[in-house]
Amino acid sequence: MKAYMIALPSGKSKSPDNLNKLILLILMSFLLVGTTFLCLYKNPFSQWRQNVKMVYQHSLPASENASNSTSIGSLHQCDLFSGNWVPLAKGPYYTNATKCVIDDRQNCMKFGRPDTEFLKWTWRPNECELPLFDAALFLELVRGKSMAFIGDSLARNQMQSLVCLLASVADPVDVSYVEDTRFRRWFYAEYNFTLAAFWSTYLVRSEEADPNGYSLTSLMKLYLDEVDESWAAQVETFSYIIISAGQWFLRPLMYYEKGQIVGCYFCNQTNVQSLTRYHGYKMVFRTSFRTLLNLKRFEGITFLRTFSPQHYENGVWNNGGNCLRTRPIAKQEMELEEYILEFYWTQLEELRAAQKEGNTRGLKFRLLDATQLMMLRPDGHPSHYGHGPGENITIADCVHWCLPGPIDTWNEALLQMLKTEA
Ligand SMILES: *[C@@H]1O[C@H](CO)[C@@H](O)[C@H](O)[C@H]1NC(C)=O
Ligand SMILES: *[C@@H]1O[C@H](CO)[C@@H](O)[C@H](O)[C@H]1NC(C)=O
Ligand SMILES: *[C@@H]1O[C@H](CO)[C@@H](O)[C@H](O)[C@H]1NC(C)=O
Ligand SMILES: *[C@@H]1O[C@H](CO)[C@@H](O)[C@H](O)[C@H]1NC(C)=O
Ligand SMILES: *[C@@H]1O[C@H](CO)[C@@H](O)[C@H](O)[C@H]1NC(C)=O
Ligand SMILES: *[C@@H]1O[C@H](CO)[C@@H](O)[C@H](O)[C@H]1NC(C)=O
């Protein structure tokens, strides 16, 4: 095991302390999982994509050839999500003055983020172009259709990006059926297009379980085999579903199946079997995909938006960690965190299984692979330039994404994928 396999950020040398931790982490993963990790760290990106391709090749029906398939989020021969960030001399698609709702917590412009270089990059896939977002084209493709974003605040983050991207062509009206803005519903009358957000942090039924009440680290109960009806009961007629889950799986979790406790993650209860967070993550995607597969009238296309990485540096999120970078990092500077890979693999496995099932029922499941491109964008988070209502910002937000910002790329990719499905 050699330390030089870890590429360090150029320009800024790591403190020996961090370096030691890294080496320790890598040593540990090496001991735990053997040689596969060695390969991942040696050449993380290419190896990773290779493996993703392999996962998908196995999942394709025999008649569909992997090299001639759009189903892995690739455009014919081109894998959209394998590429690089390159400079782009162009302003952002929208600003804080654009007529669209931007959550204050991600409105970095409004709260005076001084640097703008993070807005001047575009994603270039290795084998093709990712065209700039074309609002008119997007709206034509979704004419008469409906789209649902299901997940936590990062799902909402993407939906708000989309509404702002479309604002140059059309203004939607708010047709929400509840007051809770986490379930916002927009209608584009001219295009008969409905866009809806469904707030569901765990995708399955969940409850707070801490006797001392909810906090950012309190225990949650997850009913792994019971889908969250707040979205499931509403989406049967939707044309497109963009589903995701993420950071909520980092807190202590109590797992239930058939109404009984089956284990927990980090709950510190000696009488309860300890299970990983990946167990919960796997099961909620399984339950969600199964629900979609079993909805009688459902004919939509489901996009799995993969785990969105966070980028705390100089400390952890609740202990001084921040994200102060102003430009993307290069692939060789990237430090792959094991838990992100593990979440990513876990959801890919479930997507693959759903794709297989979906084939027999004519339902499509697609990969919107946000993970690796966003790993390279530690500069895209609000840090301290975002404010909730009346919030005293002491904790930096290195989880969500500034609007405008690199998250707009998720919708550029979504548009290209819709094009190939049309
Ligand atoms: C897949 O494509 C290769 C050539 O790229 C061809 O040799 C092979 O027969 C194809 N398989 C199927 C199942 O179509
Ligand atoms: C790729 O698929 C299209 C239809 O989806 C088909 O017309 C074309 O012949 C295929 N190309 C190859 C090389 O198999
Ligand atoms: C937009 O951001 C600028 C710069 O921070 C600020 O001066 C302006 O008031 C903001 N406008 C709106 C409508 O938020
Ligand atoms: C609008 O779209 C919905 C499906 O989303 C469809 O049922 C309805 O007929 C459409 N209305 C018009 C006027 O085209
Ligand atoms: C279990 O203990 C760890 C470490 O002390 C703590 O971080 C975590 O919040 C605890 N879990 C619960 C549910 O209290
Ligand atoms: C905000 O938090 C900081 C640090 O905890 C504290 O010093 C400051 O007084 C707080 N400001 C307000 C308005 O609560």
Closest CA to 385 of 318, 322, 329: 322
Give the strands of the sheet with 260-265, arranged side by side.
204-208, 220-227, 253-257, 260-265
Per-residue H/E/C for 267-320: CCCCCCCECCHHHHHHHHHHHHHHHHHHCCCCCCEEEEECCCCCCCECCCCCCC
**Distance from the alpha carbon of residue 300 to the mean position of ligand 4, in angstroms:** 15
Q: d(Cα 417, Cα 422) in Å, to the nearest integer? A: 9
Q: What percent of the chain has pLDDT over 70?
A: 81
Query: What does the alpha-carbon distance between residue 158 and residue 25 come to, in Å, rounded to a whole number?
Result: 32
Q: Answer with the residue of higher pLDDT: 264 or 14.
A: 264
64-76 pLDDT, tens digit each: 444 444 344 444 4
Distance 7 CA to ligand 2 centre (A): 41
Is residue 312's pLDDT more than 70?
Answer: yes
Q: Could you give the strand order of the β-sheet that contains 146-151, starting from the edge strand earlier in sequence?
A: 173-174, 185-188, 193-199, 146-151, 240-243, 301-305, 364-368
Q: What is the reported pLDDT for 392?
A: 65
Each residue's pLDDT tens digit, 206-256:
999 988 888 888 999 999 999 999 999 999 999 999 999 999 999 999 999
Per-residue model confidence as pLDDT tens digits over 56-110: 444 333 344 444 443 444 444 578 898 999 999 888 999 999 999 999 999 999 9
Mean pLDDT within 306-312 = 95
Average pLDDT over the chain, rounded to an integer: 85
Residue 309 scores a pLDDT above 80: yes
Output the pLDDT for position 48. 57
Average pLDDT over residues 259-268: 96
- 303 CA → ligand 2 middle, Å: 23
Whole-number pLDDT of residue 333: 83
Partner residues linked to 255 by β-bridges = 222, 263
Amino acid identity of 240? Y
- Angle in degrees, 0-180, between the axes of helices 408-421 and 153-166, rounded to the nearest 10: 70
Longest dimension (CA), the chain: 61
Supply the pLDDT for residue 49.
Answer: 56
Beta strands in 114-201 (DSSP E): 121-125, 146-151, 173-174, 185-188, 193-199
* Helix-, strand-, coil-residue percentages of the chain, each rounded to 5: 35, 20, 45
**pLDDT recorded at residue 77:** 55
Residues 15-54 have pLDDT tens digits of 334 444 444 444 343 333 333 333 334 345 555 555 555 4
Cβ of 319 below 6 Å from ligand 6: no
Question: How far is ligand 3, taken at its centre, from the CA of residue 107, in Å?
Answer: 9
Q: How confident is the model at residue 274 (pLDDT cuts 50, 70, 90)?
A: very high
The CA-to-CA distance between both ends of the chain, in Å, stands at 49
Ligand 1 in reach of 46 Cβ (< 6 A): no
**What is the C-alpha separation between 300 and 283, in angstroms, rounded?**
22
The architecture in CATH of the region 58-421 reads: 3-Layer(aba) Sandwich (3.40)
**Ligand minimally distant from the alpha carbon of residue 191:** 4
Per-residue pLDDT for 157 more than 70? yes
pTM of the model: 0.81
- Do 8 and 22 touch, CB atoms closer than 8 A? no
Determine the Cα angle at 209 with ends 389 and 234, to 5°.
65
Look at ligand 4, atom 5, and give the residue with the nearest C-alpha. 145
User: Probe ligand 5: pick from 217, 219, 277, max atoms within 8 Å of CB?
Assistant: 217
Closest ligand to Cα 113: 3
Least-confidence region, from 59-68, 212-221, 322-331, 332-341: 59-68
Q: Which element (helix H / strand E) includes 45? A: helix 44-59
Q: What is the pLDDT of residue 331?
A: 85
